[in-house]
């Protein structure tokens, strides 16, 4: 499963960890998160996240 990055604050959504504090269970792919979910750090909307390139170091 792909990770997604919040550019403004640096938070990375990791589907293996989810976001349990905000109702997203571990194992939840980013695409399955409700559209009204926001970054738990800075509050930007889900559509502003960028997919992490697994080949980028």
Vertex 8 angle, CA 5 and 9, to 5°: 75
Which of residues 54 and 11 earns the better pLDDT score?
11
pTM exceeding 0.95: no
The tally of CA atoms less than 13 A away on the side-chain side of residue 46 is 12
- Cα torsion 53, 50, 37, 34 to 10°: value is -70
Confidence of residue 56 (pLDDT cuts 50, 70, 90): low
CATH of 1-26, one of 2.20.28.10, 3.30.470.20, 3.40.50.300, 3.40.50.720: 2.20.28.10
Q: Do strands 50-51 and 4-5 pair parallel, antiparallel, or not at all (unpaired)?
A: antiparallel
- For residue range 10-39, list pLDDT tens digits in order: 999 999 999 999 999 999 999 999 999 999
Rounded CA Rg of the chain? 11
Dmax of the chain from CA atoms?
Answer: 30
Domain ranges of the chain: 1-26
């Amino acid at each position: 499963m792909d990770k997604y990055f919040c550019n403004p604050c640096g938070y990375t959504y990791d589907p293996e960890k989810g976001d349990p504090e905000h109702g997203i269970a571990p194992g939840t792919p980013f695409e399955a998160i409700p559209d009204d979910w926001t970054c738990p750090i800075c509050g930007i909307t889900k559509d502003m996240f960028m997919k992490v390139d697994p080949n980028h170091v």
